[in-house]
Structure 1
Amino acid sequence: MRKIAMALTALSLVGAGLAAAPGASAATACPSGAVCIRETNGDILNKNIFYSYGAHNLDNVTGFRVVVNNQTGGAGFRECTGYNGTNCSPVYRATGEYEPIDYTPINSLVLVA
């Protein structure tokens, strides 16, 4: 009986923690038609919102970041270690948020149709 009570107490504490934890909705939204890079606190700075196709050099974007692809029509993006869209990853076309990765070696993004 004691194990059940302890388990229920633990579950209620976990449930309370989940309810109090900020969700994805607390983060800044990425505008429709854009690719955005989130700051580590979840905000999106204007300089990290990209609308136009082609290469975009990044300025002072380091550490683990989440990229949001909110483009329409199946458009995608590539992450590049070189400036001006050189030495790039494959194209990512899925919309939504991507898992955080270390952006320290990433120096540009390329938006593709």
Structure 2
Amino acid sequence: MRRVLVALLACLGLAVPMVVTASTAASAAPVLSPRTAQTAVCNAGHVCIYQGDIWDDSPNHPKVYDFYYYGTYNVHNLIGDYTVLNCQTGGAGVKGFTGYNGTGSVTWDLTINNCAGGLWTDLTPTNSVRLYA
């Protein structure tokens, strides 16, 4: 139910700071200020977007999106550099699009599990992401 509400809010253009999956809803951490934020783990099967370069040895990179289900999601306020981790299994991928609802040009495409390395890139042109099998 929470995913439906989050998706509805995103479609209405309302900012959604993090998509919480049903599997993590019960254990969702409290929102921390940027000074105390710690880089949270991206679980197996998920796609996570973190602010900044999470491999720069700094522990303070907040997770801004955490997706679990296949589908297209609108993302908001991704200005500047972010790290995208595709921790999905079974060869599932994730693409970024310039338009909302998976329209426009593809800005990046992770067709492999890159959970150990991540994609660090400027997500300013990215307005939606699609998780696919």
- State the shift of 1:53 in Å: 1.0
Q: Does structure 1 retain, via aligned residues, the 8 Å contact 2:97–2:108?
A: no
Q: What is the count of residue pairs matched by the alignment?
A: 86
Which 5+ residue runs of structure 2 have no aligned equivalent? Answer: 1-37, 53-59
Structure 1: 4+ residue segments shifted above 4 A: none
1:71 corresponds to which residue?
88
Give the structure-1-normalised TM-score.
0.68
Over the aligned positions, Cα root-mean-square deviation in angstroms equals: 1.7
- 2:72 is paired with a residue whose SS is strand
- Cα separation, 2, equivalents of 1:90 and 1:63: 15
- The structure that is helix-richer by fraction is 1
Between structures 1 and 2, the one with greater strand share: 2
Q: Which one of the candidate residues 77, 81, 99 is aligned to 1:60? A: 77
Cα shift at 1:66 = 0.4
Identity of aligned residues (%): 40
Q: Which runs of 5+ in 1 are unaligned?
A: 1-25
Largest Rg, 1 or 2: 1
Deviation at 1:90, TM superposition (A): 6.2
Aligned residue number for residue 109 of structure 1: 129
CA distance in 1, matches of 2:75, 2:110: 18
